[in-house]
C-alpha cells in the first residue's frame, strides 16, 4: 500500500528562526530538510500543508513560558 505523509512545510513556517545558531537561520532549516527529503526519495510520499499559527495555549503545551519569551525576544530582533 502506498500511503502519503502529510507534512507541514511552507515558506511562512520556513521563515521562522533567529541568528543565534547557524542552523536556526530563517529558511535554512526548512531548505535543508526538504533537500534531504528529496535525496532520500521521500518526496513522492509527501503531501504538503500550511500550518495554522500556534496559539499561546498550544505553545505552552510543549514549552515553558521562559522559553517562549526567549524565542519572541530573539525573533523580534530580526
Check residue 73 and give its pLDDT. Answer: 86
pLDDT digits (tens, 9 = 90+) for 44-70: 888 888 888 889 999 999 999 999 998
| Bridge partners (DSSP) listed for residue 47 | 6
- The confidence score (pLDDT) of residue 78 equals 53
Range 10-32 average pLDDT: 74
Query: Average pLDDT for residues 25-53, to the nearest whole number?
Result: 85
Q: What is the model's pTM?
A: 0.55
With cell 533537500, the residue in question is 35
For residue 44, the model assigns a pLDDT of 84
* String of DSSP letters for 7-40: EE--HHHHT---TTSGGGSTTHHHHHHHHHHHHT
Amino acid at each position: 500500500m502506498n500511503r502519503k505523509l502529510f507534512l507541514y512545510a511552507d515558506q511562512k513556517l520556513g521563515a521562522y528562526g533567529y541568528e543565534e545558531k547557524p542552523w536556526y537561520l530563517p529558511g535554512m532549516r526548512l531548505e535543508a530538510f526538504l533537500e534531504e527529503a528529496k535525496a532520500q526519495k521521500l518526496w513522492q510520499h509527501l503531501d504538503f500543508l500550511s500550518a495554522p499559527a500556534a496559539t499561546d495555549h498550544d505553545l505552552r503545551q510543549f514549552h515553558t513560558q521562559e522559553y517562549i519569551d526567549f524565542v519572541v525576544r530573539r525573533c523580534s530582533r530580526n
